[in-house]
A and B are shown apart, each in its own frame.
Chain A
Amino acid sequence: MRRIAVPPRPNWVGRLEAIEFAGWRRKDGSAYWVEDACFELSADEVETLHEAAVVCETLVAAAVARAMEDPAGLAQLGLSDRLAALAQVSWRRGDPSLYGRFDFAWDGSGPPKLLEYNADTPTALYEAAVVQWRWLIDRDPEADQYNSIHENLIEAWRKLAPAIAKGGRLHLTSLQEEIDDAATAAYLADCAIQAGIETCLIDIADIGLKGGRLVDLEDRPITHLFKLYPWEWLVAEDEAFAAALLATDIGVLEPPWRVAAASKGLLVDLWRAATDCPYLLPTFWNEAAIIGDRVGKPILGREGANVKLRFTDQVRDGVGPFGGQPHVWQARAAMPAFDGRTPVFGVWIVAGAPCGLGIREDTAAVTGEGAYFIPHRIA
């Protein structure tokens, strides 16, 4: 595996904007998309990442199953009583998951190490599924890439389409002014359309409450909802809206049980159950259980906020709104920098199976809002 410099495509900004990738640069004008470099992996290395994700998906499913039988355990994972009850019903009902992203630390040798599972509100999907695929084909139509996310998403929607059609349409909601969130929701809508589903994008604040039901801007009842918004916030923000979401028979993606999968607290249970798994890092509730460099993560934190570093050469408490949450403590993973940037390997899961890779890299020790997306190809 190596990070190599490549010449930018002619008119690369125009090419990105032609596919409506408005997120190629951030609000401050700095580039998020890396055009002048890429990662090159061997087929064996791709196989290694794929296998790691297969194993982790199996381990997570088993850990979630255990958690659902343990109300105290769900509380420790950060689920309120209300959300825990909802998650248990959702799990036992077999509510399907659409997608998720495992983030791995990896230096290309040895096994990748699981950092976390983005199972409730994963973003950076459009650039992984479409933008880097276009980048690859523009450069070499015969080249390969670990990326069949697009067709897997369409197939997943196709399986969900009959149930959604009974309700009429699929609503997809996010904070529309957040470019990454809006792009993820819009791209998933595009895939749903290709699966024959009628869709409607709606800003999260535009969802209405009328007659005890959630409605869209035309007061049509919402029956199936893709929400790029954390469950723990949905059930806590407004009692009447939450009650309508919970009491009415709305099919929601990701389903409530995914909060347990997304909780960093589950990493403790994963480690406890499989200390011999090569893809897991030692993770504990008790900071003192780790001798040496360690990372503290809020159990339901996002975008690297409030992460604590306790390294020999660096001690840092990250800022953000999640500081009041319990933290889990994870042994520091070996994460070498390439050209001054540390990559995180995000393996995408669609309908329970790994099918693609998106690499983000950051000059900081914690991958956060300032990270870059760098495309990859298979050598």
Chain B
Amino acid sequence: MARWRSSAVALAALGAAAGVAGCNPQPEYRRNGYASRADCLRDYPANQCESTRSGGVSYFYGPWYGNQRTATTNDPGPGATAVNGRSQSADPAGSVARRGGFGGTGRSSGFHGG
């Protein structure tokens, strides 16, 4: 009689490590980028917002921190603008990736999958 189950269930790289193993290593440190000083100041004090100018456009960085998002204590600022994605700032000259546009609703509501 035919079985209903798989004859074998092999994993390429166990559990949660799988996708990471298939991805190039992530940079050890990162920092949040902003299109305006006001956006940066929503996350960090003024002395931690560094301005840079490129191609006639100014944009701003917060301080460096470890890249593990779960280790939020490594993020020296609240990260409100970046994490909650409420900033309406433009993509600054296409030269620095802005992050945090997605995920705010799930993180604030606590409901996501099902």
> Which residues of A come within 8 Å of B, CB atoms?
18-22, 43, 46, 118, 121-123, 126, 129-130, 133-134, 136, 144-151, 169, 172-178, 180-187, 189-190, 192-194, 198-212, 215-219, 228-230, 233-234, 236-242, 302-303, 305, 320-322, 378
- B69 interface residue per 8 A CB criterion: yes
Interface centre among A144, A151, A173, A240 (most CB of B within 10 A): A240
Contact call A217/B67, Cβ cutoff below 8 A: yes
A21 to B14, CA, bound (A): 9
Given contacts A134-B9, A145-B4, A205-B82, contact A187 B15 (CB under 8 A): yes
User: What chain A residues lie within 8 Å of B14 (beta carbons)?
Assistant: 18-20, 190
Bound together, the chains give a CA A219 to CA B26 distance in angstroms of 11
Interface contact A302-B105, CB-CB below 8 Å: no
Instruction: Give the tally of cross-chain contacts (CB within 8 A).
Output: 214
**11 A-B Cβ contacts within 8 A?**
A136-B5, A175-B112, A187-B18, A193-B21, A194-B12, A200-B24, A210-B97, A218-B24, A242-B101, A302-B114, A303-B114
By the criterion of a CB under 8 Å from any partner CB, how many residues of chain B are at the interface?
A: 55
Which applies to chain B's interface (DSSP): helix, strand, loop or mixed?
loop
B102 touches A186 (CB 8 A): no
Q: A46-B4, A136-B5, A237-B85 are in contact. Are A321 and B102 (CB under 8 A)?
A: no
B11 at the interface (CB under 8 A from A): yes
Interface centre among B9, B90, B94 (most CB of A within 10 A): B9
A204-B102, A218-B24 are contacts. A302–B17 as well, Cβ < 8 Å? Answer: no
B66: interface (CB < 8 Å)? no
Q: Can you name 14 extra interface pairs (CB under 8 A) apart from A19-B11, A321-B110?
A: A121-B114, A134-B9, A136-B5, A147-B5, A148-B4, A190-B14, A199-B19, A210-B97, A211-B91, A212-B94, A229-B102, A229-B106, A234-B102, A237-B101
Chain A residues, CB < 8 A from B47: none
| A320 / chain B contacts, CB cutoff of 8 Å | 109, 111
What is the CB-to-nearest-CB distance from A170 to chain B, in angstroms, rounded to a whole number? 9
Q: Which of A126, A184, A194, A212 contacts B91 (CB 8 A)?
A: A212
Looking at the complex, which one of B10, B26, B88, B91 makes contact with A209 (CB distance below 8 Å)?
A: B91
A11 to B91 CA separation, bound complex (whole angstroms): 52
* B57 CB-CB contact with A under 8 Å: no
CA distance A207 to B87 in the complex (A): 15
Tell whether A241 pairs with B85 under 8 Å between CB atoms, given A130-B9, A186-B18, A205-B107: yes
Are B3 and A183 in contact, CB atoms less than 8 angstroms apart? no
Q: Smallest Cβ distance from A191 to chain B, in angstroms?
A: 8
Which residues of chain A are near B4, meaning CB under 8 Å? 43, 46, 144-148, 378
> Smallest Cβ distance from B108 to chain A, in angstroms?
8
Contact (Cβ within 8 A) A233 B105:
yes
A19 engages B114 (CB within 8 Å): no
* Chain B residues whose C-beta falls within 8 Å of the C-beta of A205 in the assembled complex: 69, 82-83, 85, 99-100, 102-104, 107
